[in-house]
A and B are shown apart, each in its own frame.
Chain A
Amino acid sequence: SQQGEEDPQALSIQEGENATMNCSYKTSINNLQWYRQNSGRGLVHLILIRSNEREKHSGRLRVTLDTSKKSSSLLITASRAADTASYFCARGAGGTSYGKLTFGQGTILTVHP
């Protein structure tokens, strides 16, 4: 079945609110990455968190990783209309498969002005 399952599938919030998206996976990871995709465009890399890290911040983004629960979350604080996009988590494996990212289905975030 699909790795990097995301929840919720869609999220609709008002500008200024926080948005939390979750990602679960089934097998071991070397790292987990979050990407954003605006409609009809390519993916933009947001954050990479390694398996030995628990939390990372980048501007208004906060990513946590719980390897015991095989889950990660992406928090966007003080959301803006420009944050409207699809957000994907991607599992990076180690060893000889390190180059292969396995993506989830994504969360569609809509931020209303």
Chain B
Amino acid sequence: NAGVMQNPRHLVRRRGQEARLRCSPMKGHSHVYWYRQLPEEGLKFMVYLQKENIIDESGMPKERFSAEFPKEGPSILRIQQVVRGDSAAYFCASSPPLASSSYNEQFFGPGTRLTVL
């Protein structure tokens, strides 16, 4: 029973390049969430998606950041023209469908650590 998968685990980019972070939810989960964690801080919500829909993107920066969760394949968090301040750990989580009694519980992946040089 595989958990939430994220890849790559570590990603190094130079300023101005693009970063693509992938997340495969747990089997049977239909909701995906992305969070960002800066060093020595808690996680900050970025975006919540269902298949082919963005439900809540109130935590996403207005520029350079985008997320998708296509009908087939993993969810992608895309950061264009990265800057040093984007260096952080990016965590993905998934949760069961609303019909499940545990729909509120989110299960986290191991994270992708992005370093911008």
Contacts and interface: CB of A to CB of B under 8 A. Distances in A.
17 contacts: A33-B105, A35-B108, A41-B110, A42-B91, A43-B43, A43-B93, A44-B108, A99-B33, A99-B55, A99-B95, A100-B45, A100-B58, A101-B43, A101-B45, A103-B42, A103-B43, A103-B44
A52 B101 CA distance: 15
A44 B110 CA distance: 10
Contacts of B95: 99
A98 B105 CA distance: 10
Contact of A96 (B56, B93, B109): B56
Interface residues of B, number: 26
A26 B93 CA distance: 24
Contacts of B104: 30-31, 33, 48, 92, 98
Across the A-B interface, the 7 shortest Cβ-Cβ residue pairs: A103-B42, A99-B48, A43-B108, A42-B110, A103-B43, A42-B108, A105-B42
Contacts of B59: 100
A36 B6 CA distance: 19
Centre residue among A88, A99, A100 by max chain B CB count within 10 A: A99
A35 B43 CA distance: 11
B41 interface: yes
B91 A88 contact: no
Contacts of A96: 55-56
Interface in A64-113: 88, 90, 92, 96-106
A106 B42 contact: yes
